[in-house]
Each structure stands twice: as C-alpha cells, then as structure tokens.
Amino acid sequence: MSQSADTLNNPIEHNVDCYKRDTCRLCGSQNLDLVMPLPATPIADGYFSIERKDESQACYALDLYLCQGCGLVHLCDVVNPELIYRQYLYETTTSPGLVAHFQKYADDVLSRIKLSPGSLVLEIGSNDGTLLNFFRGRGLCVLGVDPAREIAQRATQAGVETWPEFFSVDLSERIKHQKGPADVVIANNVMANIDDLDSFIKGVRNVLSPQGIFIFETGYWVDSVHNLVFDNVYHEHISYFSVKPLVTFFKKHGMELICVDRTPTKGGSIRGTVQVAGGSRKVEACVLEFIETEIREGFYRPAMYKEFAGNINCQKEKLLGLLRRLKAESKTIAGYGASHSVTTFLYYFGITGQFLDFIVDDNPRKHNTLSPGLHVPVFASEAIYEKRPDYILILAWRFAEIVMKKHQKYLQDNGHFITPLPTPRLHQ
C-alpha cells in the first residue's frame, strides 16, 4: 500500500525521498494503466561539481500512467519536492524567448481583464519575478511565492516581493490577511509539479477575490505527443495535462474553466482561465472544442501511447546507429544543452559517456559540472572552439535553429551538427 497523497506536505518530517501513490491526483480513481515506461533517472537538474565525480546519485522510476477515471496522464512516483526545489537552479531569464513571452502574457491578461490600480496580482511559482515585474510596471501590486530561497531573495531585492515558501491553504490565509484577496492568481508551469492539487486549488480559491480569476499555463500533453517532446517527462513534472481532465477537476472544486488558449512554449502549452463557478464570465466554445479533439485523437485510449513510444524508439535506433558509426570512425562528439529535459533524453536514448566526450551549455550555472547520473562533464559553449569536436549533438533539440545560427563559425570550420528529433539529421 502506498503512502497517502498528503505525505509530502511536510516532507522533512516524514523524511522520504520518494513515494508511489496508487490513485489519480485529479479524481482519486485507482483505475490506472501503465501506458509508457521510461528509464529511471536521477533528479533532472541534479548537475553537480566535477570534484564530486565519484559520488553516485539515486535514480527514481519515471513511468507514465493513464487514469481511466478522468483521463489524466501522470507519474505515480513522486520525488520529495524539498530535494528538487530548495536549491533550484533554473531561472526564467535563461530560457530562450521566455522573457518576451511573459511580456506579451501580461499585456494579453490586462487587455482582457480590467483591473484597478493597486489590484493584487499573486503568482505561485514566480521564480525570478520576470512576469510579475511586467504587472508591477503597470501600477499593480504584486506578490510572488516560490520555495527556491536564493531565487526568491534575489527577486525581492530586485523589487518583486517574493515569499520563499511552498503554496498551501494556510499560506493563502496569511496572504489574504496581510495583502488582501487577489484579483488575479497566476501559476505558470506549476500545476504539473504539484502532487496534492486538491489542497493547491483550495488555496487558490481561498485567496481569490469573488470576481477574481485564476490563470495557469502548463504543458499541453496533446502537443507534447504531436511534437515528440517526450523529454519534458521528468520528476519535476508529475502531471501531463489535457483539457478534459482539468474541466472535471475544477468542477469538483466549485470552479469552472472558461477559456483555453494555445501557446508555443515548452514544446506546446495551454493557458487556462478559471473563475468561481457561476461567475460573470461565460464559458467559451474553445473549451469543448479542445475536449472533442482530444477524444477524437485517442488521448484517453492506451493504444495511442504504444504508437507514441514506437515512434520515439524508431528515432532512437536511427540516432544510435549514427553515433555508433561515428565513434567507430574515432570521431569526437559533444552534446549541446544541459537542461532538465536532457537528462530524460540521455537516459531514454541510452546515450552515455561512451558516445559523448563532453557537453556544452550557455548557462554559467552549469559550467564545470557533471550531468546527472551519467556524469558527462559540462563546459561553457566556448569549449566548442577550444576542444573542436568533430560533431555536436544538439540535446536541446527544440532550440536547434537558435544554436546553429549562433555557432555558424563552427560549421564554417568544418564542424557538423546533429539534430536528433523529429528525426536524426546531419547539418554541415
């Protein structure tokens, strides 16, 4: 019998690194089908200094389950959030295009929702405060909540007050008492990371003003499948959302999903707008249209996931065949990219130090570190020109065009790029 879903609400006290739940985190059903097993991996962002090369890292199961009750795709194995977020390294400003995306995001919200000067905008999982800063610049009061202590401290010092805590019902009471109710509550790429979503949404509803709205952005599982973005599956992301299960979930909590917009971030995402049930805004036709498409394309049938995995495995064999041939010719191969998704990619494709001589990345926080588990060394991108690898495999493959444009000199010097997906391809 698994531990209850409440176990990690106080993970330090319970002193567990990981537990396995046996119910759907949206509807509570125990009717769960294993539809896509992935190799166990360490925590995806567990890069550490080269001096620690002899240390081993724990790996945790990474299997996808489909709930036959509501249709949610999710991980049942939940890693203690204290292990993931307290020393979190990722910052919004390090992801290509996200700053511009959030500026447009703030503009879009304010064009649709009329807020009075001084209205409170609360963001849960606010990271470095990039989005809230745009709202602050429009004369609104802002508050961020984020458990990454160092990032929260830097955001506060930069002018975006950020509380370094996990969001909860109790915290929502403190916010309401000290700041008043929020007219807008935002959670971007957060809901997919939370195990106890029932408590989370109770806290959101509690802090929301009567006519307030909750806006969330999250990866859209339908787009992930269409675009082969399987490497967005890692322990930080424990739910993979489509619209149908979310409608059911919000209804259970006396709220309603009234609008869904598609956004291109993270390999395909959705932005949902939610109000308290019976609110003044009408449910837009797009909500039903999303659900009809999901059902028609088979996203609630296990057979679809067999086809998805088969497609990825086909590309995997093609890429491994190419890498084996190059190593047999004594070619040096570097990887480009040291993000969370790279960990899943390397483990699923079986690409170890046998194939990669080193990895480069543009984020200074990753320089002179070792990749999680496999311990491939990571250097600054300047190493491309110092070490001159024969080939560079673009592990951050969704940003391949940006990478190749930035390193035209490498190509001009007879270097070769390899893009692994949607199908392996050589660029020279």
The pLDDT-based confidence of 50 (bands split at 50, 70, 90) is confident
pLDDT in tens, 206-260: 999 999 999 999 999 999 999 999 999 999 999 999 999 999 999 999 999 999 9
Do 92-300 and 322-427 come out as alike in CATH topology?
A: yes
At 77, the amino acid letter reads: D
Position 91 scores a pLDDT of 59
Position 100 scores a pLDDT of 86
The pLDDT-based confidence of 345 (bands split at 50, 70, 90) is very high
Question: What fold does the segment set 92-300 form as a domain?
Answer: Rossmann fold (3.40.50)
94 has a pLDDT exceeding 70: no
Cα separations in angstroms, 231 against 36, 217, 340:
13, 19, 8
Position 232 scores a pLDDT of 94
Q: How far apart are CA 127 and CA 89, in angstroms?
A: 10
Position 81 scores a pLDDT of 83
Position 87 scores a pLDDT of 57
Position 29 scores a pLDDT of 97
83 has a pLDDT exceeding 60: yes
175 has a pLDDT exceeding 90: yes
Say what percent of the chain tops pLDDT 90: 81
347 has a pLDDT exceeding 50: yes
419 has a pLDDT exceeding 90: yes
**Average pLDDT for 280-303:** 96
Backbone torsions φ then ψ of 215, nearest 5 degrees? -120, 130
Least confident span in 45-59, 117-131, 176-190: 45-59
At 123, the amino acid letter reads: E
Question: Is the separation of the CB atoms in 260 and 286 below 8 Å?
Answer: yes
Question: Is the separation of the CB atoms in 42 and 7 below 8 Å?
Answer: no
Position 95 scores a pLDDT of 61
Q: How far apart are CA 389 and CA 334, in angstroms?
A: 6
| CATH superfamily placement of domain 322-427 | NAD(P)-binding Rossmann-like Domain (3.40.50.720)
Say what percent of the chain tops pLDDT 70: 94
301 has a pLDDT exceeding 70: yes
Q: What is the mean pLDDT of the chain?
A: 91
3-state SS of the chain is CCCCCCHHHCHHHHCCCEEECCCCCCCCCCCEEEEEEEEEECCCCCCEEHHHCCCCCCCEEEEEEEECCCCCEEECEEECHHHHHCCCCCCHHHCCCHHHHHHHHHHHHHHHCCCCCCCEEEEECCCCCHHHHHHHCCCCEEEEECCCHHHHHHHHHCCCCEECCCCCHHHHHHHHHHHCCEEEEEEECCHHHCCCHHHHHHHHHHHEEEEEEEEEEEEEHHHHHHCCCHHHCCCCCCEEECHHHHHHHHHHCCEEEEEEEEECHHHCEEEEEEEECCCCCCCCHHHHHHHHHHHHCCCCCHHHHHHHHHHHHHHHHHHHHHHHHHHHCCCCEEEECCCHHHHHHHHHHCCCCCCCCEEEECCHHHCCEECCCCCCEEEECCHHHHHCCCEEEECCHHHHHHHHHHCHHHHHCCCEEEECCCCCEEEC
**Average pLDDT for 167-195:** 95
The pLDDT-based confidence of 428 (bands split at 50, 70, 90) is confident
Least confident span in 42-56, 288-302, 353-367: 42-56
Report the DSSP beta bridge partners of residue 120: 141
- On the CB side of 90, CA atoms within 13 Å amount to 20
353 has a pLDDT exceeding 70: yes
Position 235 scores a pLDDT of 95
Which of the pair, 128 or 345, is modelled with greater confidence? 345
Question: Is the separation of the CB atoms in 323 and 333 below 8 Å?
Answer: yes
Least confident span in 89-98, 184-193, 348-357: 89-98
pLDDT in tens, 1-27: 233 333 334 333 445 799 999 999 999
CB-count burial class (<10 Å; 0-12, 13-18, 19+) for 54: exposed
96 has a pLDDT exceeding 90: no
Which of the pair, 428 or 422, is modelled with greater confidence? 422
**Average pLDDT for 296-321:** 96
Domain boundaries, the chain: 92-300, 322-427
Q: How far apart are CA 304 and CA 370, in angstroms?
A: 36
Alpha carbon distance, N-terminus to C-terminus of the chain = 54
